[in-house]
Chain A
Amino acid sequence: MNETQGQARPKLACRVNGSPISAEVEARTTLLDFLRDRLHLTGTKKGCNEGACGTCTVLIDGKRMNACLTLAVQCNGREVTTIEGIGSTDALHPVQQAFITHDAFQCGYCTPGQIVSAIACIAEGHATDGDTVREWMSGNICRCSAYPQIVAAVLDAAGTTEARQDA
Chain B
Amino acid sequence: MRDFAYSVADSLDQAVAADGTRRMLIAGGTELLNWFRLGVAAPDHVVDLAGIEGLRAIESDGERLTIGALATLAEVGEDRAVRAHAAVLAQACLAAASPQIRNRATIGGNVLQKTRCAYFRAEEPLPWGCNKRHAGTGCAALDGVNDRHAIFGWTEQCAAVQPSDPAVALAGLDAEIEIAGPSARRIIPAAAFHLTQREAADLGLDPAQAETRLQPGEVITGYRVPIRSAARSAYVKVRERASYEYALVSAAAVIELDQGVIARAAIALGSVAQKPWRLTEAEARIVGLPPTREALLPVLKQCFGDARPLADNGYKIAMAAGAAARAIVEAAA
Contact = CB atoms under 8 A, between A and B. Distances in A.
Contacts of A50: 34, 37
Given A27-B3, A74-B50, A136 B99 contact: yes
A78 to B, nearest CB: 10
B118 interface: no
Nearest to B45: A2
A73 interface: yes
B26 A64 contact: no
Interface stretch (B4-12, B83-91, B186-194, B197-205): B4-12
Contacts of B4: 27-28
A2 B5 contact: yes
Interface in A39-56: 49-51, 54
Contact of B7 (A4, A64, A74): A4
Given A28-B36, A68-B33, A4 B98 contact: no
* Interface magnitude class on chain A: 35 or more
Contact of A66 (B3, B30, B44, B48): B30
A58 B173 CA distance: 35
Interface string B149-186: 00000000000000000000000000000000000000
Interface in A59-112: 60, 63-66, 68-71, 73-74, 76
Given A27-B4, A69-B29, A51 B101 contact: yes
A113 to B, nearest CB: 9
A134 B98 CA distance: 11
Interface string B104-128: 1000000000000000000000000
Contact of B101 (A5, A66, A73): A66
Contact of B33 (A1, A71, A117): A71
B198 to A, nearest CB: 31
A126 B104 CA distance: 18
Nearest to B101: A51
A64 B45 contact: no
A2 B22 CA distance: 9
26 contacts: A2-B22, A2-B45, A27-B4, A27-B46, A28-B4, A28-B36, A50-B34, A51-B30, A51-B100, A51-B101, A63-B74, A63-B103, A65-B101, A66-B30, A69-B33, A70-B29, A70-B33, A71-B29, A74-B26, A117-B99, A120-B99, A134-B242, A136-B99, A139-B97, A139-B101, A140-B98
